[in-house]
Structure 1
């Protein structure tokens, strides 16, 4: 709003849309009220001229001039609060002066002036100032009335007596001012109520629309999750067969040319699986359903495991791959989520290898601060790759985004890797840092505060489960496994795996049959698919846990699932199952889980 000039006399120039309805009403009251009082004063001047009351004439002229100055100040500075206080202060002084000196009595005009000041102060300045101005005007009048009733009031100055015509003009003018004040604020009050009603109705409509939008968004989110879960199951099921068969054929000593073809087939299927997993992981993060674990693990061992497979990829491209781990971290047991840390480092290293055609990839893990109970660890992945333009540094962390269309076409990928990394770190309150120059490479790094397990507590904790070697063939041959699986391709694949491992296996095509077979037979472990007809895997596991034969009721159960539901882990354990394995799975991973659970059962049974 531009400030009005000194020559302004317009009301529009001192009103603005930024002001509240109440403020605008107060400014209008001042503007029109002073105009009305000015007219009343002019009428009073005319009246006292004809009645030759020169003392009152001087007071009226002085009041008119003063009013004109205040009016000019209002239209120039638009400071309505200052103007209001000035008018009320002058009115109070004038009331005292008229009461105690000029007229020396309480008459109808005095009462009218007091009422005008009281009403005007409350409407214009609120309760606090209204009470103050009411008190300073009422108390002198009441004191004067009480004193004049009990004593003779005489100050040595002759009191003025108003002519009847002057009294009539003053009384009418005061009544007009009072009516104007009440009418003006009643109208403003009414308009304010109407405005509140309109705002309330609009707010109600907005709330209804917002509720509909929220409900629609929730349904859309639920539909998206269900769609992703369904698509995950439908995609993972054939992928399980493709990767599984590739692994089986690789175990059959193929010729060199066949082995190359199988490697390409397995690599392509694994890439497709990685894309599906990225989309599903991102959906979990966006829906806020990612839960971080707090378990003990060896950080050095974890980093070696993560980078072990990546070294091969780097060497295949002719890159120099180096993993450097601070000596302070050697043999340190820390507490955290090794799965999520592995996911973060894996994505960063995979990106570094993907976008580097010549030179090196370096992974550096250093201990920045070593305190008694925790360490501040810096994770860094540096490469000599293509680098990133400065204006693209923020964009690369957005989902489904890469630096440019050319980058996407040349290197492929979903553009979700860095988005997943960034969001996982943000959920832990950690910021990803990046330094990059086009053509010179990039470095990504972040810091994690990791609680340290003291050596004494780590040693004192008994290991109930013996470490299982994945290639323990003698143990596998003695096992009898029940597989509950309704998909014929998956059943055929499992049969071939178990045949290679010389494992005795029985198959049930639904959960109901699986429960009956557990009751009738003797099995070492159950591999339970979750989505089956007649009786699903969850309900089948619950029924098995309720069997009267405690040995059969406590049989280890591993869930096999291609689902992407975010709460699958909780549902598996709530149903009484011991562990779960996502399809498609690696043969060695299945073998290790089976042996671990079987050995765990033996330890508990013999205890």
Structure 2
């Protein structure tokens, strides 16, 4: 930055700025030393004209001397080099015109030098546009004057003046010095700029190398983070699968009331741990920017009933009144959007409302705000009568791993990721969350989403009587005809699957790795395959690919369900790309696994698979 230059400053050091470019500082130096040179020359000429009693020339030179002094003082006070340059060029143009057309009425060497000075000075100081303008203003009139005066005619009836020899020599010398000084000064500035440019280029190259290394390091760090989370997810989910699975098996065995209570505590704690792991992984997916939103048809009212239906028992356990209020105009609407992400948002908001409410109610409202036939705007609102939030903490609750206070964290637990996930998902959808809250009286979270409305006619579902699904308690064996192959390398999970299948009366075989699984499919007959993805010798993806290549068409289309504890973002695509039919995340819910086995082994499913292979 430039130093503060006072009104009485005369030093050039105080008007040069570190923040300016070298070219701007060169222009200020040129003006400073050029004005000093002109000031000295004009002073000598003025004194000489006073001595020789040249009144007219004395007045003109004196006026010029005053102008130069004012411009020099202005430059040393406020280094506005553009204004000073324009002022000098205007002054030089006026002197040139007055000398040629009025005072001397001829074009002499000084006039030519002055024109050259103005042309060079205009381009160097103010650039092409102004340089061209001042050049035209000086060159054109001089050329026209030379043509007009070629017949020894005067422009006006006024006797021209003549310069004495000393003044002429001094003027010519000064002009030559100025011409040489301008060229030399800007050549040095040009050389300095070239050196600086080279230095900057080298520095830019070095910075680019550092930046590339930093980007490479960041990418490797991000990949390592993703792989670490995937590995940790697998390692945590694998024992959790056994804990939750064994808890489910023990609860299916009609335990005593005291045993059932202990098992429920065990299952509840394992579920909380799983929820924490899921929150961390979900947040990592969102922060990585690899979340892809689906656009599929779904019934909004049914989705909300399913979400809140799973949460309502938790509210009832706490003695809360749970209300789901769906606008009647929404109940028959089939919209297009991402039901999975909407479920995640509503689930987190409702779960938080129940968690932080000790008495009163939780009210979930779904209201139609605007209906434009092809698009609808829906307002979602989750209101509770819980502990509320202080106004100054409203922004903090949306930060990751943050809750309103340490006391809240200790009392209610949790990672503080729920609302962070909600906010990120809504922001990625272009939706803003509104929060109204009063400490001790409750909170209300609301947001509006615009959905395209499906133009396809709504097909009313006809509920047909179904045979009751066999449960572990009723002893039915409707799955006893199925022969299942399980590819699993973890002994605890193998033991769990054996016990679970014995409850379902399923015939099962086990392979310790993918290669053995492919071999058993070649020589055996299986109705369905459960394939772990991370196994020694051959992983689940490769094993599924090899099975799909089998020559026996019946074995090649055997349904395969992936069993994965991985947290990779693109796991779903990899599963389907390898030829598998579906996947279940560990720890899996027995009913979910059972439903998928039943679905894939039904006659219609097998027929569809066979037809696809034939195509």
State the TM-score bracket (shorter-chain normalisation): over 0.9
Cα 1:606–1:207 change in 2 (3 A) is closer
1:604 paired to 2:590: no
Tell me the alpha carbon deviations over residues 234-257 of structure 1, each in whole angstroms, 9 at most, x when there is no partner.
111111111111101111111111
Counterpart of 1:297 in structure 2 is 298
Aligned partner of 1:190 in structure 2 is 191
2:428 is aligned to 427
Q: 1:337 & 1:376 partners in 2: Cα distance?
A: 15
* Structure 1 residue 505 corresponds to structure 2 residue 505: no
Change over 3 Å in CA distance of 1:498–1:329 after alignment to 2:
same
2:123 and 2:411 map into 1 onto residues whose CA distance is 75
Taking the aligned partners of 1:130 and 1:234, their CA distance within structure 2 comes to: 74
Instruction: Map residues 264-303 of structure 1 onto 2, 5 A cutoff.
Output: 264-303=265-304
CA contact (8 A) 1:470 1:592 kept: no
In 2, Cα distance between the equivalents of 1:342 and 1:204?
49
**479, 496, 499: which one aligns with 1:496:** 499
Q: CA deviation at 1:375?
A: 2.0
Distance 2:554 2:450 in 1: 44
Per-residue deviation, 1:224: 0.9
Partner of 1:529: 532
Alignment of 1:360-399 (within 5 A): 360-399=361-400
Matched, 1:459 2:463: no
Cα-to-partner distance string for 1:230-288 (whole Å, 9 max, x where unaligned): 11111111111111111011111111111111111111111111111111111111111
Q: In structure 1, what is the Cα distance between the partners aligned to 2:14 and 2:64? A: 26
How far off its partner does 1:191 sit? 3.1
* 1:84 to partner: Cα distance: 2.2
Structure 1 CA distance for aligned equivalents of residues 88 and 116 of structure 2: 14
- Provide the residue aligned with 2:152 in structure 1: 152
Distance 1:103 1:468 in 2: 120
C-alpha displacement of 1:399:
0.7
Asked if structure 2 preserves the Cα contact closer than 8 Å seen for 1:468 and 1:595, the reply is no
Deviation at 1:189, TM superposition (A): 2.7
| Residue number in structure 1 paired with 2:554 | 551
Corresponding residue for 1:67?
Answer: 68
Tell whether the 8 Å contact from 1:4 to 1:76 is kept in structure 2 after alignment.
Answer: yes
* Alignment RMSD: 2.6
Q: Secondary structure at the match of 2:415?
A: coil
Q: Partners in 2 of 1:335 and 1:129 — Cα distance?
A: 61
Deviation at 1:412, TM superposition (A): 0.9
Please say if 1:25 is aligned against 2:26.
yes
SS in 1 for 2:376: strand
Q: CA deviation at 1:397?
A: 0.7
Map residues 75-474 of structure 1 onto 2, 5 A cutoff.
75-76=76-77, 78-149=79-150, 151-154=151-154, 155-454=156-455, 456=457, 458-459=458-459, 470-471=469-470
After superposition, what is the alpha-carbon deviation per residue over 1:470-502, rounded to whole angstroms, capped at 9, x for unaligned?
A: 548554222111111111111111111111111
Q: Distance in 2 between matches of 1:578 and 1:94?
A: 92
Distance 1:141 1:462, change over 3 A: farther
Q: Deviations over 1:114-144 (max 9, x none)?
A: 1111111111111111112112222233233
Q: Report the CA distance shift for 1:205/1:468 in structure 2 as closer, same or farther (over 3 A).
A: farther
Residues 556 and 601 in structure 1, CA contact (< 8 A), matched pair in contact too: no
Contact 1:475–1:595 (8 Å) recurs in 2: no
Distance 1:193 1:606 in 2: 73
Distance 1:460-1:390 versus aligned 2 partners, 3 A rule? closer
Cα deviation code 1:495-518 (max 9, x no counterpart)? 111111111112122111211222
Rounded to whole Å, the distance in 2 between the matches of 1:349 and 1:179 is 82
* Distance in structure 1 (CA, Å) of the matches to 2:54 and 2:414: 99
How high is the TM-score relative to the length of structure 1?
Answer: 0.93
Quote the offset at 1:46 in angstroms: 3.1
Distance 1:38 1:461 in 2: 99
Is residue 485–residue 509 contact of structure 2 (8 Å, CA) maintained in 1? yes
Separation in 1, partners of 2:38, 2:610: 106
Structure 1 gaps of 5+ residues are none
> Conserved in 2, the CA contact under 8 Å of 1:470 and 1:588?
no
User: Matched residues in 2 for 1:158 and 1:449: separation?
Assistant: 88
Task: Show the counterpart of 1:520.
Answer: 523
* Alignment correspondent of 2:565: 562
Classify the secondary structure of the residue corresponding to 1:323.
Answer: strand
Q: Which moved more, 1:495-504 or 1:471-480?
A: 471-480
Query: Could you tell me how far apart the structure 2 residues matched to 1:521 and 1:189 are?
Result: 84
Q: Secondary structure at the match of 2:459?
A: helix
Gaps of at least 5 residues in structure 2 are: none
- Comparing 570-579 and 10-19, the one that deviates more: 10-19
Contact 2:3 2:17 in 1 (8 A): no
Aligned length: 604
Offset at residue 423 of structure 1 (A): 0.8
Pick one of 585, 594, 597 that aligns with 2:597. Answer: 594
- Find the aligned partners of 1:371 and 1:161 in 2 and give their Cα distance: 90
Preserved contact between residue 557 and residue 609 of structure 2 (Cα < 8 Å):
no
- For the residues of structure 1 that align with 2:609 and 2:60, how far apart are their CA atoms? 112
SS of alignment partner, residue 329 of structure 1: coil
Provide the rounded CA distance (Å) in 2 between the counterparts of 1:218 and 1:468. 53
1:542 is paired with a residue whose SS is: helix
After TM superposition, give the deviation of residue 152 of structure 1 in Å.
Answer: 2.0
Greater CA deviation, 364-373 or 377-386? 364-373
| CA distance 1:509–1:146, change in 2 (3 Å) | same
Contact 1:468 1:596 in 2 (8 A): no
**Structure 1 residues 278-287 or 60-69, which shifts more?**
60-69
